[in-house]
Structure formats: C-alpha cells, structure tokens
Chain A
Amino acid sequence: MRNYLVLILFVLVFKLSYSQFNEKELSFTFENVSRLEALQKINSDTEYQIYYLQNWFTDSLIQKKYTNKNIEDIIADLLEGTTVNYFLYPPNKIILTNNNTIYSNLPEGFFGKDSAKVQTVSASRKVTPIFYAKGDESASKNVETIRVGREIGAQSKETYTLSGYITNYESGDPIPDMTISTNDNRLLAVTSFEGFYRIELPVGSNILKFRALGIERAEKEIIIFNDGTLDLEFNESLEQLDEVVVEGDIYKNIEETVSGTEEIDSEESKTIPLVLGERDVLKVATALPGISSAGEGATGFNVRGGKADQNLVLFDGATMYNPQHFFGIFSAINPFSIGQLEVYKGNIPAKFGGRLSSVFDIKTKDGDNSEFKGEASLGPVTGNLVLETPVVKGKSSFMFGARGAYANWILRSMKEESLSKSRATFYDGVANYTHQVNENNKIKATAYYSKDNFSISSDSLYIYDNSLVSLRWQHKFNDKHLSEVQIANSGYTFNIEYERGANNDFDLGYKINETEARINLDYLHSADLKFNYGVEGKLYSVAPGTLEPLNEESSVEYNSLAKERALESAAYISANYSITKKFAVDLGLRYSTFMALGERTQYEYEEGTPKNQGTVRDTIQYGNNEVIETYGGPEIRAGARYLITPSLSLKAGYNRSIQYVHILTNNTTISPIDTWKLSDLNIEPQTGHQYSFGVFKNLDANAYEISLEGFYKTSDKVLDFKTGAQLLMNENVETEVLQGEGKSYGVEFLLRKNKGKLNGWLGYTYSRSFLKLDSEFEEERVNNGEFFSSNFDKPHDLSMVANYKFTKRFSLSANFVYQTGRPVTVPVGNFTFNDAEYAVYSDRNSYRIPDFYRLDLGFNIEGNHKLNKVGHSFWTISVYNVLGRNNPYSVFYVTENGNVEAYKSSIFSIPVPSITYNFKF
C-alpha cells in the first residue's frame, strides 16, 4: 500500500502539444521481442522519451510491424492488451502509467463548484475518472491494493464483474465456502467448491473482506477499471485456536483419498471422562469405530479385527513398543505433551509399514518459541507436568514433560484379593527440542522414556521400559519439494525378578532394540498431483532371553539365548492424483524386504512331522551378518475417492502389508512381558490384505459428519501357540508356534457433531474377527482346523462421546460404551486327576462373557478467562462406570481344594469418582 500513488497532473498546454505527436511518421518492425524491448527500441531510435517501470510488462513476445504511423498509434497498439496507459507530454515525453489514466484536466467540481463556469455535458458519454486518495492509514493497514483492468478513457459502466479462483497458498487447493464481503459486511459472494467466485463491483476502489474457515482473514483493496479476472491465494490460519484447526479440515473427511483414518486432538479429548480422571488419547481412540481393546484391563488394541501386535505405534516417528502403563489401564503417553494422534486403520499410507492392522502416529507438540508456558495436572493416580520454553526466541524451543504415578494406594484399597496384593508404580518423561533454522529447515529432536514396576505376588517383580530417541530434519528444497530425514532408535525391555530367598532367585530379561533411518520426500507436482516417496531401513537387535542369578545365594546359572538380528528395509512411492475435480486416486507401492541375520543357530525340522525337539533334522550355524533367510514383497496401498457432491463422497481402498516381527503370547490378551520375535528360518512373516469401501457425508453446513465404512480383511501366517506353550527362555520357540489365517469383516458407522453447544460422536461397529489354525497334525490344530472367533471378536460395539457446554466455563460430558461380551474358552467338562478336579478345555472361544456396558460422566469447570490472570485452571469431576455395572473382564476356572470353581472377574465393578485439577500458565 505504501507504494501507491496519487497522481494528478495538471496539463496546461494541450492542444498544441497534441499536434506535435502526430506530425512525425515512424516505421518499426518488431519480431519476437518483448514489449519492453520494443519500448527500449523506440526510446533509443527516436527523439521520444518513454517513462515506465519494467515490472509492468510481462515477457510475452510480440510481432508487430508499423509503417509510417505516428507515435501515438504505435504506443497505443503496443500497449493493447496490457493494463498500461500512456500520456503524451510535450514536447517529446511519453509517460506510461499502470492502470491509471493521466487526465489532462480535472473532473468537474474537483475544486468545488465553479459557479462562474457553465458546463456543457458532452453528448452521450459520461466520463467518470477514477481517483483514489490515500485513505485512513490505520484502517488500510495490511490491505493490499490490487488493480484490475485498465482504465479506458471513458468508463461506460458503473459496475464491473470480477471473477477468479481462490486457492490455498500452501497446498494449492481451492478454498471453498469463502465469503467475500464489503467493508460494511454486505455479502457479495461465496466461493464455489472449486474456489470460483464472481462478483459485481462498483467501479473504482473497493475494500473487500475474505473469510473462510481455517484461512487467514484477509482484506484487499480492489481497484477495478474493467471486467476482469483475479486469482487469489490465501494462507492458512495461523491462529492457535483448536476450533480453527479442526474446522480448517471440514471437508477432509470427505475429500481425503484414503479412508479409515481417525484423528484425535489431545486438547479436544480433555473433557472426555475416563477412569480415575486420566486424560488418555489412546482410550479415546478406542471409542472410535474399528478400534477396540479386548477388555477394560487389557493391554493393546485390536484394530478392525487384527491382533494387538499388528499396530505400529509411532512417537515422533520412532516405534513405541508398549504405549501403556500397568496393563492397559493407563496410557504411557503424557497427554499434555502431544499434539495429535492420527490412526490409520484402513488405507495405510505407503510410507508406513511393518504392521498389518494400523498405524498410530503420535506427534509431540513443539514447544512454544515465544514465551514460557506450562501445564500441570494432579489426579488421583498421576501427577503431570509439561513445560515449554523458547531457547532462541522465535526460532527454537524446548518442551519437557514428566508424569509419575502413585497407584499403590489404590491397589491396596481394592477389595479384590489378587489386586490388593499387587503393586504398581510407573513414570514417563518426554523432551523435545525444535529448531526452525530458517524458512527452509527445521530440526526436531525427541526423547522419551517410560518405566513400569509391578508385582502381582510378593515374590515376583515385573519391570518394563520403553525408550526412544528420534531426530528429524525437515528441509524444503522449494515450494514444491520437501524432504524429511529421520533417524531414530527405540527399545523395549522387560525383566522378571523372582525373589523368594531360596537358591532359585533369578532375573529374567528381554530386550528389543531397533535403529531406523528414513528419508521421506514430498513432491507437489501440481495442485492435482502429489508424490510421496522415500526409503527406510531398520536394524533390529533382540536379546530374546537372559537368565541370571538375582543374588549371591542363588544357584541360578547364567544363561543367555542367542541374539536375533535382522534388517528390514523398504522403498516406497505413492501418488495422489486428482484425475478430475471429483475423482482422485492415491496409489502407493511399497517394497519391503527382511533379512534375518547371523550370528545364530537355527534348527531345521523334518518335513511332514510336527515341529518339536524330536524332529530336529539339522542344526545350521550362521556366521556374523550372514543372511539366514530373506523375506519380502510388494505392498500395494491403493485408495480412490469420488465426490458425488462437495459434501458427499465414496471411497474405496485396497491394502496389502507385511509384518516381520511378532508378539509371542500364550495369553488371551497380550501382557507387558510378552516377547517380540523376529521372523527367521522357521517363523514366516505375516501378510494381510484389506478391502474397504466407505460413504462420507457432511450435513448442515458441516455441523455433522456421517460416515459408513465397510471392510474385509484376511491375513496369513498369523502367530498362535500350542496349548501351554513355554515362550520365555525357549531356544526352540518355533516348536511352540502355530501360524494360521485370520479373517475379519465389518461395517462402521460414525456420526460426529463438531459444532455447537452439544458436540461429540456416536459410533457403531458391527464386525467379526476369526482365526483358523489348521494342520495335518492334531497337536497343531485348534477347533478342528476351522475358523473360530478371536479373543477380541465383539460383534456389536457402540460408543457415544458427548459434551454439552452450558457456558464457556461449564460443560458436562458423557461417555457410553456397549459391546458384545468377548469370547472366552470354557470347559467342555471336568475330570479328576490325582484326587483333584480340573476343567477340560477343548473348543477355543466357544462362549461369550456377558455384554459390556458402561456410562461415564464428567463435569468440567474451566477457570475464568480474564486476560490478566496468571494462569488458567480446569477442573474435571468425573464418575467412571456411573451405573455401577459389574462388567466381567474374564472368567476362569480354578481348582480349589480339589474342586473346580468358576469365577468371573471385573476390573471396575462400582462407580469410580475422581477429581482432577489441571493448570495452565
């Protein structure tokens, strides 16, 4: 705006000078030169001096031939089709202006009414020159002035039509639903789905306001001289308000090419009442369709009927092996430290791999680089603190989070005997450093550590920890080409310390570690075609078991199973292509390989016999880094989206993935002391296919989102175990392993309301999940080799999360869950052995425990929002399981005093109230 001109010229001598420019006849030939060059030529070859700015002209080439023309005709012709006007200033100056016309006389009444002069208005045309004066400085702050068209000597109309496309500056995507209004809030137009607008503007200066959700508010001054087109680009909103962030994606659910993704905002989840007042994004995830856990106290998640080891949990890009504390009751992720959790349960982008069912992509938030901030909470079980501080203001920041638990008092107060003997302590810490080196380079380093100690009986202590570090460098080559280089290391270890004071006190340890390097590139070819490609490599190292004496009195012999090592690598490319405005595809191909590496001993088993120690045929020694076995294959990730209307779309997807590492567990639900096993000579990788289809619809100006998705999944070489398998410290663990087929299918319905006083969602899933373990040998067969319900096959799953805001400060939230009871294995009879009665089991999962339902209520009180307050507080008073429903978690058959007794156990059988205090500063 500062370079705008006020141009008023007083030209006194007119008639005379005018004639001078017509006297001379000139001849020019311009062959493939730019207008600028043509003007330069005229400047140098004639006596005329032409004044102009170079940037008014484009580089487009012209072909013109003038023979004996006067200079005015030549200039007028040269400027045809540009926004540049000319003014002939005697004796030999030609002044060019952009947009404006230089008037040789002032309009009527410019100096007030001249009563002495009698004005005669010329015949038919009324000339309305356009002058604009520098307006009020403060009002026009940041208002860019755009000139449209060229003023021609005589303006014929009072309004002109302006049209064009409005796009997002960063993504190049059209901005739909953007309102264009005048300064006095009169609505002129709303952009179409393609970002197109058409408005009628009064000739001259117009201040226009542009508003769209998720887009920076903008005002522009449009000076219109003619009908014209104007394409505009706007930045995304930089405001940190959640509402804006969320609503910026209003059509994301409709438009995204891939289906089966869920996003959870940590801040958004704070009002959802959860057990013991613990905010937990992972628990919130299980309230969404397709994601569930086997039960209230179960570790792990089951996504679309997949096993709990088929989920890749990424924490700032590094694998997190166990994201939960104390079995599944608490999340190991500090809710204040994370920004967002994205769950891919359908189409997994090609850049992710290594697990069959889902990817939980958790990103920590960057520390605030402008001021020191913090957030703390105190609940009945944990205390939590997150601090953010700038290091170099505006450039780099540090974020630190710590959380500790004091759960023992709760366990002690439990009536349940087996729990009152339990002890549990856990803590976790996270730190990250973000440095915006310059516009094109950003570095982020993250470190995380969590540790759990728990005991179920007095002689055994279980300890497990997760640790990870990741370093990520984002580099922008140019606006179209972005790269991300990451190195990460993560590990999981557990120990079982057994101490009874006799000669067999031991410490059993397990350790898995992976080091990963990845280069991920995004190439935005155009608004319609985007590529994502890269390579990654991962080196695994597993110490599958180490047994050592716990103390000097112990005569336990040190024993360590041979280390397992492997290299998993992958290259991938995916293209997101909008073939038409309505039809878009996302085609990805990932090729992964896995090499099990020495140094190791592997056993070969007789073919045609069940694997056991008696059927070992050969023992093979592999040297250091010698390849034991190579697995690999293409993984296709394909998705397509068709927009029927801007708010209704159909999506379909196909997904193939390969998983090379497996959890070994012989429990009905996984536990923290289950080991991860790498594929090797005898254990093959799991593969999975998923077909999905969905309909997505937004209603009522995007206040409601509705989706209906269906999926069908098959998997192969899924791991299971022989009855009573010994998995710890077993050198021949493959003899205990069965590999079978998995099958699941389902329909997921989600209704989400994002706006208004009442918001939340209602999800319903009907799905089935089966497993088949067949073999020619009876001992390797389960349920006669037929498909049977998996441990987490819960056909009906309904969940509702609702939050009602009474005022800005008070809100009530409710959370309701209904699920079919999970399958359990019950006896097919009893038998007596050595004077005691035992249950005999045969068919797996032939019975279901009673259905599960639970209602939780929470009341949230926000502190007041006075600006000068030191901080902001937030109270949550919640009651978990308000109905006091005694939901069975499992059933078991115990031989007590020689008789079989059946019991069912539940984790939270009565209402559990709690108060949590959060403070932000």
Chain B
Amino acid sequence: MPTRNRFIFLLVTGVLLAIGACTEPFEVETTDFEDILIINASITTETKRHKIFITRSYQEGDDEVQVSGATVEVLVNNASSIQFEEASPGVYQSTVGFAAEPEVDYQLKVTDEKGETFASPQVQLTAPTAIDQITAKRVLNEDGEDGVEIYVDGTSTGDNEGYFRYEYEETYRWESFYKPLQGFRVVSESPPLLEIVYKEKEERVCYVTETSNSILIAETNNLSEDRVEDFPVRFIERRDRRIAHRYSILVKQYAQTRVSHEFYQTLKSFSSSDNLFSQPQPGLVVGNVRHVSDDSVKVVGLFEVVSFTTNRFFFSFQEIFGNDIPFLDDCGFDRYSSLSDPELFQRVQSGQYKYIGEDPPFVYQVAPAGCVDCTLYGSNEVPDFWVEQ
C-alpha cells in the first residue's frame, strides 16, 4: 500500500488556561503543644555586657514565654566563670562587660527555672573578618519589583571555617507629610478651648532605626578564597518609605562556625518555601546545647563565640534612582471653624489629631497625628553617625 501520501499530519490546538496553583493562609487546629527551652547565646568580640536570651516555646497566638529565675554562667577555660544576671524576664546580662578573646575555651551552663541543667560544649572564638565594602545597586528583584539591593563584601582575615552571618541595623530619615511650625495647645478643658502656638518639639524630620530579623548566611568554604562577594543583605522597593530620603545601613558581620551555620541554615530552610513541589522535612532544630544528663529533654540552644565587625553605608534616593518617583505619602485632613468645637477638642485631646494649618484663615485643618508628628515613628535627634550627603 502506498504510504508516502498517507503522511499528512496537521495539528491544531486550542487552549484555555489560567492554571490555578495557589498558596493561601491556613489555620491548623491546635496540635499537641510541646514546651521546649530555647537558648540564644552569642558572645562576640564587642566589649559590652553580653546578653543571653532564654525563652520557651509557646502556642500559636500566645505571647512569648520568657524564662525567669534561671541560672546562667559561661565557664572560661574550665576555671573561672562569667556570671549572668537576669536583667529582665528572659534576658540575662553578664555582670561585667567583656569581649571574647581568642584561644580561650568558653562553655555555657544554664539551669532553668525548673532545675534542669543544660550545657554547651567548649567553644572558641572564631577568627576576625573584615567588611571590605558595602554597595547599593538598583535592581529588579525575583518578583520583578524595582528597588535597591545592598551588597556586602567580606573577607576572613584569619583561619575561619568559611561561614559568615550578617545582621543589619537600618536608619532612615522620616519626614512628616505636614510640617506645620505651629500646633494646638489646650487652654481650658471646660469649656473646651484650644489655641495655636509655635511648636517646641521637632516633629518634622526624624530618624527611624530598625533591625534585621531574617537569617542572612553565606558560605565560602567551597571557594578558593575566604571571601564573600556581593552578598545581598537587603532589598528595598523603590517606593518604600525607608529610602524616600536618605538611608543608612549598619552591617554586622560575624564569622561563625559550621555548627552555627547548620543551625541557621536548617532554621531558614524550615521557615521559607522555595520549592512548592518538594519541601524539606522539618524536625527539631538542635544547636549545640544539650541537657547534661537526660538526652530526652528537648532543647533548642545555640552557644557561639564569634568575631564581629561592622560597617556603615549611606545613600540618598536620587543617588540610586535619579528623578524617578519615590515613596509618595498621602494624608487627609478635616476642617473645623471653631477652636472650641467639642469634637475638635476631643480629637486633639486624645493625641490622635494635630493641627496642620488654617485655610482659609480661621478654618482650622487637622490631620491624624502620624501625618504630622514623626516622633511617633522615630527619634527627632540626628544620630551621631548620621552624615548628610
């Protein structure tokens, strides 16, 4: 049978489609709660009264459980010890200021309020590192958002295991939407009466400081050099208020051990969702602190003695984004025609509303306090480190 002319094929396809894979919030019915001691102890080369945090696990929706009444000490070379006292519930501060020193064996011992004793192995200070530079670059992130990414370059200057951890403290200038020079003052409460006076407090420009709370770790042990290059510590969207004016970041670099790295690495992988199809099997993240005698008492504890170095970096919006549109604030306002209006008085008295101006004269405009008073968010004092452009 002739086959050649049987070879015809045409393929057509019409399709639809908007696939509905989705991720949505989910409420789990309360499962068996387990009370586990949490110890976060990091001693650094910074000379200060170091803090060790001791808490307990808590149920979803509850408040943190701070451990009060524990005994905390750090043994030095198995001979002397540094005592820690309870500064506030859950926070134990060394009675003396000190900095971790190299070649010294440190060991943590904690006896909790129930009398259970936990200890870490002996650990030594990691070698020093240096932050070579911090840079900022305009990028489109994974989600296609326009913003600035801050990178750090760091080098180990000693013999380290090749693991770095970063934290940062960011400070930015906050400008109030309304910047009146005057404000209301209460003349009398009954009858309600307000007057307009010049403000004594700076409420127009403030400096807000926030600290990082994400896990930032890098490893260099696969590299021929113990050097971190272009490590992204922070991404901020272009229209984020933080970078609307001027922004400063203090990057803290720690040289950590493999034990710490694995602890943070595991914690990170259990608390993020990179791959929808294949998830890591979560389990108890154990650090290096154990119960001294009973293996079955669960504890999540990390004790580390780490070298520490910091560096600060500044930029202003225009340096990164030129004349593109930054964060745009918007605030509404209300008008009152009398300084003795009871509603106006009540609003001002509560601190929720503030004077922004008169337009036309004798028609008083008020706006929510947040639009007027930046001290609600940060400090009106220029930080010591602050450098204007």
Which residues from B are CB-within-8-Å of A723?
A: 266, 281-286
Report if B55 contacts A (CB, 8 A). yes
A626–B280 alpha-carbon span in the complex (Å): 37
Nearest chain B CB to A733's CB is how many angstroms away? Answer: 14
B331, CB-defined interface residue at 8 Å: no
The reply to whether A416 and B23 contact each other, CB–CB distance below 8 Å, is yes
From B4, B7, B27, B284, contact of A840 by CB (8 A): B284
Chain A residue nearest to B281 (CB atoms) is: A668
Residues of chain B lying within 8 A (CB to CB) of residue A380: 13, 15-17
Q: How far is the CA of A838 from the CA of B214 in the complex (A)?
A: 11
In residues 203-231 of chain B, which contact A (Cβ within 8 Å)?
211-215, 220, 222-225, 227, 229-231
Contact yes or no, B17 A413, CB < 8 A: yes
**Alpha-carbon distance A374/B6, docked complex (angstroms):** 10
The closest CB in chain A to the CB of B271 belongs to A895
Distance between Cα atoms of A906 and B23 in the complex (Å): 6
Do A413 and B18 touch (CB < 8 A)? yes
Quote the shortest CB–CB distance from B264 to chain A (angstroms). 9
Residues of chain B lying within 8 A (CB to CB) of residue A895: 214, 271-272
- State whether B279 touches A909 (Cβ < 8 A): no
Which B28-47 residues have a C-beta within 8 angstroms of A?
Answer: 28, 31-36, 38, 40
> A352-376: which have CB < 8 Å to B?
371-374, 376
CA distance A565 to B81 in the complex (A): 52
Q: Which residues of B contact A135 (CB under 8 A)?
A: none
Chain A proximity mask over B121-146: 1 for CB below 8 Å, otherwise 0: 00000000000000000000011000
Is there contact, CB below 8 Å, between A410 and B19? Answer: yes
B7 A374 Cβ-Cβ under 8 A: yes
Kindly state whether residue B79 has any CB partner on chain A within 8 Å.
no
- Over the window 468-503 of chain A, the binary record of Cβ atoms lying under 8 Å from chain B Cβ atoms (1 yes, 0 no) is 000000000000000000000000000000001111
In whole Å, how far is A484's beta carbon from the nearest beta carbon of chain B?
32
Residue-wise interface mask of B (100-140) relative to A, using a CB-CB cutoff of 8 A (1 in contact, 0 not): 00000000000000000000000000000000000000000
Bound CA–CA A122/B123 (angstroms)? 126
Whether A905 lies near B22 (C-beta < 8 A) is: yes
Q: How far is the CA of A721 from the CA of B18 in the complex (A)?
A: 38
Knowing A415-B18, A458-B142, A910-B20, say if A503 contacts B223 (CB, 8 Å): yes
**Interface centre among B7, B142, B222, by most A CB within 10 Å?**
B222
State which of A502, A833, A904, A909 has its C-beta within 8 Å of the C-beta of B20.
A909
Residues facing B in A776-793 (CB within 8 A) are 777-779, 782, 784, 791
**Chain B residues within an 8 Å CB radius of A457:** 142, 274
* B contact residues around A417 at 8 Å (CB): 23, 143
Interface of B is mostly: loop
| B8 lies within 8 A of chain A by Cβ | yes
Closest to A375 in B: B9
Contacts of B262 in A (CB 8 A): 724, 726
Given A417-B143, A829-B58, CB of A504 within 8 Å of CB of B22: no
A415–B281 touching, CB < 8 Å: no
CB of B267 closer than 8 Å to a CB of A? yes
Chain B residues whose C-beta falls within 8 Å of the C-beta of A378 in the assembled complex: 11-13
Q: Across the interface, do B279 and A890 meet the contact criterion of CB distance under 8 Å?
A: yes
Known: A376-B9, A890-B279. A779 touches B286 (CB 8 A): yes
Q: Which residues of A contact B142 (CB under 8 A)?
A: 421, 457-458
Q: What is the CA–CA distance of A723 and B40 in the complex, to the nearest angstrom?
A: 19
Q: Which of A414, A791, A842, A894 has the most CB of B within 10 A?
A: A842
* Contact digits for B275-311, partner A, Cβ 8 Å, 1 yes 0 no: 1111111111110000000011010100000000000
A374-B7, A421-B143, A844-B281 known; A502+B276 contact, CB < 8 A: no
Q: Are A671 and B22 in contact (CB under 8 A)?
A: no
Please judge, given known A-B contacts A830-B58, A831-B55, whether A886 and B22 are in contact too, CB under 8 Å: yes
Partner of A919, one of B9, B60, B278: B9
A456-B281 contact given A380-B15, A831-B56, A891-B28, CB 8 Å threshold: no
Q: Min CB distance, B210 to chain A, in Å?
A: 10
Q: How many residues of A contact B (CB 8 A)?
A: 109
Q: Tell whether B3 is near chain A: CB-to-CB under 8 Å.
A: yes
> For the complex, what is the distance from the CA of A779 to the CA of B14, rounded to whole Å?
55
> In the bound complex, how far is the Cα of B40 from the Cα of A458, in angstroms?
34
- A415 vs B20: C-alpha distance in the bound complex, in angstroms? 6
Of the listed stretches A343-351, A552-560, A805-813, name the one at the interface; the rest are far from the partner chain: A552-560
Q: Mark A374-385, 1 if CB is under 8 A from B, else 0.
A: 101111100100
B306-325 interface with A by 8 A CB criterion = none
Interface of A is mostly: loop
Residues in chain A near residue B224, CB distance under 8 A: 555-557
Contact A904 B26 (CB under 8 A): yes
Q: Is B349 an interface residue (CB 8 A)?
A: no
User: A907 and B21: CB pair below 8 A?
Assistant: yes
A846 at the binding interface (Cβ < 8 Å):
yes
Complex Cα spacing A164 to B38, Å = 85
* Residue count of chain B within 8 Å CB distance of chain A: 85
Chain A, 394-435, CB within 8 A of any chain B CB: 410, 413-419, 421
Closest to B225 in A: A555
A835 at interface, CB cutoff 8 A: yes
Known: A556-B223, A908-B20. A299 touches B213 (CB 8 A): no
CB contacts (< 8 Å) of B12 on chain A: these are 378, 917
A909–B227 CB distance below 8 A? no
Contact A832/B271 with A557-B222, A921-B9 known, Cβ cut-off 8 Å: no
B24 within 8 A of A: yes
Does B202 reach chain A (CB closer than 8 Å)?
no
Is there contact, CB below 8 Å, between A903 and B223?
A: no
B17 adjacent to A902 (CB under 8 Å): no
A555 touches B31 (CB 8 A): no
Contact call B21/A915, Cβ cutoff below 8 A: no
- Say how far A608's CB is from chain B's closest CB, in angstroms: 14
B270 within 8 A of A: yes
**Among B11, B214, B227, residue most surrounded by chain A Cβ atoms (within 10 Å):** B11
B328 CB-CB contact with A under 8 Å: no
- Which listed residue, B25, B143, B274, B285, touches A724 by the CB 8 Å rule? B285
A672 nearest in chain B by CB position: B278
> A418 near B31 (CB under 8 angstroms)?
no
Within 8 A of B (CB), among A505-542: 506
Cβ of A504: which chain B residues have Cβ within 8 Å of it? Answer: 220, 222-223, 229
Contacts of B284 in A (CB 8 A): 723, 840-842
Contacts of B285 in A (CB 8 A): 723-724, 840-841
A328 to B278, CA, bound (A): 10
Q: How far, in Å, is A376 (CB) from chain B's closest CB?
A: 5
Taking the complex as formed, is B5 at the interface, i.e. its CB lies under 8 A from any CB of chain A?
A: yes
| In contact, B9 and A829 (Cβ under 8 angstroms) | no
Tell me which residues across on chain B come within 8 A of A912, comparing CB atoms.
Answer: 17, 19-20
Given A501-B230, A839-B270, A906-B22, CB of A871 within 8 Å of CB of B6: yes
Query: In the assembly, what is the distance between CA of A838 and CA of B272, in Å?
Result: 10
Interface stretch, picked from A38-46, A169-177, A820-828, is: A820-828
Binding site for B on A (CB under 8 A): 297-299, 327-328, 371-374, 376-380, 383, 410, 413-419, 421, 456-458, 500-504, 506, 547, 555-557, 559, 666-671, 721-724, 726, 729, 777-779, 782, 784, 791, 825-836, 838-844, 846-847, 870-871, 886, 888-895, 897-898, 900-910, 912-917, 919, 921
Please name 20 pairs of A and B residues whose Cβ atoms are closer than 8 Å in the assembled complex, sorted by A.
A374-B9, A376-B11, A417-B23, A418-B274, A503-B227, A506-B222, A724-B269, A828-B57, A829-B35, A829-B59, A830-B60, A833-B40, A842-B298, A847-B31, A905-B23, A905-B276, A906-B20, A908-B20, A912-B19, A921-B7
Q: Which A-B residue pairs are the 10 nearest by beta carbons? A: A724-B266, A723-B283, A910-B20, A829-B57, A671-B278, A828-B34, A378-B11, A895-B271, A904-B26, A503-B229
Interface residues, chain B, CB within 8 Å of chain A?
1, 3-28, 31-36, 38, 40, 55-60, 64, 142-143, 167, 211-215, 220, 222-225, 227, 229-231, 262, 265-267, 269-286, 295-296, 298, 300
Extra inter-chain contacts (9) besides given A410-B17, A912-B17, A921-B9, CB under 8 Å: A299-B278, A380-B17, A416-B20, A416-B276, A724-B269, A833-B300, A835-B213, A892-B273, A900-B271
